[in-house]
Chains A and B, each alone.
Chain A
Amino acid sequence: MKTKLLKSLNQYRAYVLVVVMFACGVFGKNFYTAYNIKAILDSTLLYAFLGVGFTLCMVAGHMDLSVAAMANLGAVLTMGFHTFSGMSWGPAMILAILAATLAGVINGVMISKAKIHSFIATLGMQFVLKGVMYIYSKGAEISDKGDFGFADILNKWLKPLPITPKILIMLVIVIVVAVLMRNTRFGRNIYMIGGNAETAWLAGIKSSRYTILIFAFSGACCALGGALFAIAQSSALPNMGEKGISPLLVALAATIIGGTDTNGGRGSVWNTFVAVLGLMVMSFVLSNIFGKFEVQILANGLILAICVFYETITAYYNNKKIGIRQPLLEQRQKELESAQ
């Protein structure tokens, strides 16, 4: 009973985090207001997009460390195309997303064709993209020069719901990807590639093609998140996330807390979003109570450590069980052989 409860708690830990942190709001001041809930949801925007990209790659057994750089690329290029080149927001966003998609394709080709480990390939891509952005923006912040029209639409509070259009867009993307992953052959194949590459190959799945597709999609998704984030705050900076809490680390933490297996084959985009929401609720609660970012970093780290620790312990005991059964199997085999 105890184990079952623990298993259930672990399985739905992202939800548990949201509920527990939300309940902790009673210790804060003015926590349960519509404005605050809207602010919490707003703060998930960038991390949720990054989480989707990161989760997809991790489910397929890879690690995309370039997600934050892709989002930055989307932000800087969208703002740059709009401000420097005079494009309207639509084409500027599309071009920026295409650029990030191309970077994702290069990531995919390096990993699937050149057999470079995803950790190395995406780390390298991260630096390349940073260099490109610094050259493009000359290291300076790019603003929308007072063109707040689109930003106002994205930031508009859709009362009485605690939601804004930018969060609606994000929710649609998360739900669509979650349905794709769960209910389509494409999605199931990604799980199979991550879970057991050999079986996937035997089943005739072209894992190279899937890897390229996943990284391209991850790039596009992150760039869209970055573009929306930049438009909403009317500026983009090539070194976003270099100081403070890196968006990459938040996406990674949310992916792990959301239950995605670091070895691939298991995970859910929706759960990652719920984990992002949980982390943001926690951030607001702790900031409300303590007013110190150090406590938030500590809590983030602790929750991540507990999740990883639990996974490791579980894996250890599972392996131990397999180990215990092995001699029994061997004994049984011997018995059968002697009986013959």
Chain B
Amino acid sequence: MKRIVALLLALMMLLSMAACGGQETTSENGSNTQEGGSTNAGGETSTEGGATEEGGETTPAGELPDYSTVMSTDNQPLFPEMVIKDFPERPEDPEALGEDEAGHWYDMEHAGWDAVKSSNLPTSPGDGPEGKEIYVIVHGDHPWTTAYTNGINKACETFGIDVTVLSPNWDVNLQNQQIDQAINAQPDAIILIPVNAESAVQQFRKITEAGIPAFGSNLLTTSAAMEYMIAWTGPDDWGQMRELAREMADAMNKEGGVCYLTHNPGGSAYFARMYGPRTELAEYAPNIKTLDFQSPGFDAAACKQVVSDWITKYGDELNAIFCADDSAQLIGTIDAIKEAGREDILVYAAGNSKTGQDYVKAGDVECINYQSAEGDAAAAVLTVAKWFNGEEVPPMAYMAPVMINAENVDSFYPCQW
């Protein structure tokens, strides 16, 4: 029995290898790609759809459909305004600077500043997005991801792109498998939100070496990963936190004490959402003191306990709390503040969930930042569509920061997630 099964198995593997091994496949965008190998360096591009190739550069195939009128669930334009940031000069030795100095975090905040694009990057087919097939691999399931997927579907529908969305449930091993699966399907492009910033390097490298154009979305990776993607789009976490911090400083008259509930230690959001505001305040409002920062995670009860302890310990010295999340962390914070009768404490939070918006509307929270999940997705698809069309796309583009406060909160309903 064992031998028969083993023989059957070997036979099936041999047959499949014989049938498909080393076979060349041609992707629809016209780039000739060998399985697992690299794309043709010559960058042969199709001239279908009116695109022409002159001196190695492709010209746009035509106008993209009008996308400016497409709206997201929260009645905001689906395709957000994008910003191309100028990188300031890098300090000679960022590590030598103090943690409260912006330069210390330069490589993290301005990841990609020194990225040199790989010479293996595929060239645009220049024949427009219509009928193209793309894969989108997200990082994991979450209400935010559901909204992001909605955005992907809406944006792809706008440009007539067929899309397959895969989710690895936050598992890097599973994400690697899905990347292999996507490469095996030979789509016209892959959009990837990596689970981890560092492992993204090999992931983007693998996609690019398979001759498939790779696009990064949402999670800001490292310069090394930027090398292997055509373009990256996403939120400017550091920039938004800086703006939120300035709002907070103005409300505090640039004086008083702040405590921070941080994101999970080690992740990019941990640094952006704590050191972003801290370094900004050090310059913009140096009289504001950081009293403490804690990482109780995303459990409302644990957050409530931490905030209650702060209120007891710091008393009137505590004037504001900055939360890295506007769901569980805000629930715990507001509960503790109300229980202690300290409604004078100002609360600011990162995020854009219904919980956060409801708190802003109720006047419990002063300000949160708008971070459209659907817009994030749409920005990535628009970049891909422009690239298919032969248009030049910036290597990195950030969503313009927008703040939500009591004055404008009503215009952001119904919430995306």
B29 within 8 A of A: no
Q: Does A37 contact B (CB under 8 A)?
A: yes
Contact (Cβ within 8 A) A233 B176 = yes
* Least Cβ–Cβ distance between A288 and chain B, in angstroms: 6
CA distance A261 to B170 in the complex (A): 32
B22 and A160 contact, CB distance less than 8 A: yes
- Interface size counted on chain A using CB atoms at 8 A: 59
Cβ of A43 and Cβ of B177 under 8 Å apart?
A: yes
Q: When the two chains form their complex, are residues B198 and A143 in contact, meaning their CB atoms are under 8 A apart? A: yes
Are B198 and A234 interface neighbours, CB within 8 A?
yes
Asked if A142 lies at the interface with its beta carbon under 8 angstroms from chain B, I say yes
Residue of A nearest to B199 (CB): A235
Question: Contact at A244–B169, with CB atoms within 8 Å?
Answer: yes
- Asked if A243 CB lies within 8 Å of chain B CBs, one says yes
Interface hit among A13-21, A166-174, A205-213: A13-21
Assess whether B169 is in contact with A293, with CB atoms less than 8 Å apart. Answer: yes
Residues of A within 8 A of B184 (CB): 30, 33, 35-36, 39
Contact of A244 among B16, B19, B170 (CB under 8 A): B170
Binds A, one of B1-9, B90-98, B240-248, B377-385: B1-9
User: Is there an interface contact between B20 and A32, defined as CB atoms closer than 8 Å?
Assistant: yes
Interfacial chain B residues near A30, Cβ < 8 Å: 184-186
Distance, CA A168 to CA B318, complexed state (A): 60
- Given A23-B12, A34-B20, A143-B201: A293 touches B266 (CB 8 Å cut-off): no
Which residues on A sit within 8 Å (CB–CB) of B141?
293
Q: Is the CB of A32 within 8 A of B16?
A: yes
- Which of B19, B171, B199, B203 is A243 in contact with, Cβ under 8 Å? B171
A46 neighbours in B (Cβ, 8 Å): 173
Given the complex of chains A and B, what is the CA–CA distance between A142 and B19 in angstroms?
41
Chain A residues whose C-beta falls within 8 Å of the C-beta of B167 in the assembled complex: 292-293
Task: Report yes or no: A283 in contact with B177, Cβ–Cβ below 8 A.
Answer: yes
Does A185 sit at the interface, judged by CB under 8 A? Answer: no
A132–B283 alpha-carbon span in the complex (Å): 36
The answer to whether the Cβ of A284 comes within 8 Å of any Cβ in the partner chain is: yes
Check if A34 sits within 8 Å of B17, measured CB to CB.
yes
Looking at the complex, which one of B2, B174, B185, B198 makes contact with A245 (CB distance below 8 Å)?
B174
Q: Would you call B180 and A19 a contact (CB within 8 A)?
A: no
Contact indicator per residue, chain A 14-58, by CB within 8 Å of chain B (1) or not (0): 011011001100000110111111110011001000000000000
Q: Is A247 part of the binding interface, using a Cβ–Cβ cutoff of 8 Å? A: yes
Contact B172 A245 (CB under 8 A): no
Inter-subunit contact A287/B178 (CB<8 Å): yes
The distance from the CB of A78 to the nearest CB of chain B, in whole angstroms, is 14
Q: How far is the CB of B79 from chain A (nearest CB, A)?
A: 26
Q: A22-B13, A34-B22 are in contact. List 14 more A-B contacts (CB 8 A).
A: A8-B1, A15-B2, A34-B35, A35-B35, A35-B183, A43-B176, A43-B180, A46-B173, A141-B196, A141-B266, A234-B199, A237-B172, A293-B167, A293-B168
B residues sitting closer than 8 Å to A (CB atoms) are 1-2, 5-6, 8-9, 12-13, 15-17, 19-23, 35-36, 140-141, 164-174, 176-178, 180-181, 183-186, 196-199, 201-203, 205, 222, 224, 264-266
Binding site for B on A (CB under 8 A): 8, 11-12, 15-16, 18-19, 22-23, 29-30, 32-39, 42-43, 46, 137-143, 145-146, 148, 151, 157, 159-160, 162, 229, 232-235, 237-238, 240-241, 243-245, 247, 280, 283-284, 287-288, 291-293, 297
